[in-house]
């Protein structure tokens, strides 16, 4: 059955029409408008749009100089794209474990994984909750490393120092993929206060045009200059990661509603939290939210202990769906256990100057491996409280049908 959409209304259509009506003229530059708005909201000097939240990470790594022979520390419990971009930079992903209660990158394990080759830490603010960036930033500073925040799942979250997600590290990176707090279908954006990084990120994703600057992706050159066979256009080896003007028009309308979208997720997350934290059982253990942190719930994650009661993850999920549940996201395979990395290891492929099999030993992350099998992420992308109540009812029914709890 076709579900009626509610996310893209009014302004999205107005802005898309505006850009189409000009035959997609670069004079308006929806990208520039979107960048300015996003940078302002985050109180950052520069923002750079991109075609995905994977491309943005690649751009961020390039901008800080990650390259052949370097190592980048990433949590092993995250999306594989975090590992791919390190690999694509010619560097080696080194896996750090996660905290058992927040499921986020563990600063203590990060410390243990630092070597002479480490260049950067990729702090992934998953589920809508920020990592312990106070500790991670201090580790980065002490060891002369760059700190990049992956906020694909984390919009307008705050830590206990009232800092907004994406602004604590050197660079913040977001995804506008279909399922995210804000969406352009596919897309992404970066922010930074560092002019050099901003220019490098823009050129790396903007086919290396030499006229691109930290502040703008608009080609502001006199036509008489470049309509000349002598004109040299590029000064950087690069990719085309640009966001189309049509998607930027959608993105601008979405960013204008950022508070509304975040509020909806938070409201859903709070409803789940009230339900799960009042259950008198250890079947579910909700994620720990450190004091003073503001979670913005890309999903609502819990540890599922059903095995103890003879109920598998899959059995619970299938029964939940049968009872009207939306479905439950599992945690991703740990990055080192995803097929491309496993195969590379087996075949002895190199990333940068490092034989991948050599680096594997540094990637032992037992807590991540154990959590990976148990995490359940309930969806928070419903359009109102009524829909969330329906999800909670479906969880109650499931618990009853499986004879785990009675209501």
Ligand X SMILES: Cc1ncc(COP(=O)(O)O)c(C=O)c1O
Q: What residues line the site for ligand X (CB under 6 A)?
A: 52-54, 78-79, 81-82, 124, 126, 150, 152-153, 175, 177, 188
Looking at beta carbons only, is 131 or 311 nearer to ligand X?
131
Residue 58, Cβ density class (10 Å: 0-12 exposed, 13-18 middle, ≥19 buried): buried
Residue with structure tokens 């003007």?
A: 245
252/35 Cα distance (integer angstroms): 8
Looking at beta carbons only, is 175 or 194 nearer to ligand X?
175
Q: How far is CA 293 from CA 31, 160, 288, in A?
A: 31, 5, 10
Report the residue closest to ligand X, judged by CB: 53
* Max CA separation in the chain (angstroms): 78
Looking at beta carbons only, is 56 or 319 nearer to ligand X?
56
**How many angstroms separate the first and last alpha carbons of the chain?**
31
From edge to edge, which strands make up the β-sheet containing 375-379?
284-286, 299-304, 375-379, 328-330
Looking at beta carbons only, is 278 or 339 nearer to ligand X?
339
Smallest distance, Å, CB 52 to ligand X? 3
Smallest distance, Å, CB 350 to ligand X? 24
The pair of three-digit structure tokens given for residue 236, joined into one six-digit string: 């950087």
Measured CA angle at 56 (ends 52, 62), to 5 deg:
145
316/371 Cα distance (integer angstroms): 17
Looking at beta carbons only, is 79 or 164 nearer to ligand X?
79
Looking at beta carbons only, is 57 or 302 nearer to ligand X?
57
293/298 Cα distance (integer angstroms): 15
For residue 177, the cross-strand partners are 185
Type and span of the H or E element at 356: helix 356-360
Smallest distance, Å, CB 50 to ligand X? 9
Smallest distance, Å, CB 210 to ligand X? 27
176/332 Cα distance (integer angstroms): 19
Smallest distance, Å, CB 56 to ligand X? 8
Smallest distance, Å, CB 100 to ligand X? 20
Nearest to 366 by CA among 71, 73, 76, 110: 76
Smallest distance, Å, CB 179 to ligand X? 7
Looking at beta carbons only, is 126 or 394 nearer to ligand X?
126
Smallest distance, Å, CB 407 to ligand X? 33
Looking at beta carbons only, is 28 or 156 nearer to ligand X?
156
């Amino acid at each position: 059955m076709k579900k009626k959409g509610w996310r893209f209304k009014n302004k999205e259509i107005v802005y898309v029409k505006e850009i189409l009506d000009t035959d997609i003229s670069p004079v308006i530059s929806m990208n520039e408008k979107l960048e300015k708005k996003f940078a302002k909201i985050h109180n950052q000097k520069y923002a750079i749009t991109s075609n995905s939240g994977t491309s943005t990470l690649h751009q961020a790594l390039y901008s800080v100089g990650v390259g052949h022979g370097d190592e980048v520390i990433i949590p092993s419990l995250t999306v594989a794209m975090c590992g791919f971009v390190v690999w694509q930079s010619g560097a080696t992903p080194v896996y750090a474990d996660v905290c058992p209660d927040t499921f986020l990158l563990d600063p203590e394990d990060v410390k243990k994984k630092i070597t002479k080759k480490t260049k950067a830490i990729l702090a992934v603010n998953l589920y809508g909750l920020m990592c312990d960036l106070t500790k991670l930033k201090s580790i980065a500073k002490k060891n002369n490393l760059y700190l990049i925040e992956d906020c694909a799942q984390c919009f307008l979250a705050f830590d206990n120092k009232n800092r907004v997600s994406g602004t604590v590290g050197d660079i913040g990176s977001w995804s506008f993929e279909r399922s995210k707090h804000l969406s352009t279908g596919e897309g992404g954006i970066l922010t930074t206060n560092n002019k050099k990084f901003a220019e490098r990120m823009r050129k790396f994703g903007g086919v290396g045009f030499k006229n691109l600057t930290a502040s703008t992706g608009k080609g502001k050159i006199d036509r008489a200059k470049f309509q000349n066979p002598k004109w040299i256009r590029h000064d950087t080896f690069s990719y085309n990661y640009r966001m189309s003007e049509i998607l930027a028009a959608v993105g601008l309308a979405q960013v204008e509603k950022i508070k509304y979208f975040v509020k909806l997720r938070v409201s859903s997350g709070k409803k789940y939290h009230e339900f799960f934290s009042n259950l008198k059982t250890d079947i579910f253990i909700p994620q720990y939210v450190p004091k003073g942190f503001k979670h913005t719930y890309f999903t609502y994650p819990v540890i599922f202990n059903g095995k103890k009661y003879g109920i598998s993850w899959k059995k619970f999920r299938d029964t939940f769906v049968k009872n009207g549940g939306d479905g439950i996201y599992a945690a991703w395979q740990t990055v080192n256990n995803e097929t491309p990395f496993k195969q590379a290891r087996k075949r002895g492929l190199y990333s940068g100057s490092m034989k991948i099999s050599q680096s594997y030993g540094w990637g032992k992350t037992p807590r991540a491996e154990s959590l990976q099998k148990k995490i359940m992420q309930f969806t928070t992308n419903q359009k109102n409280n009524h829909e969330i109540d329906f999800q909670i009812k479906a969880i109650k029914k499931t618990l009853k049908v499986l004879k785990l709890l009675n209501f």
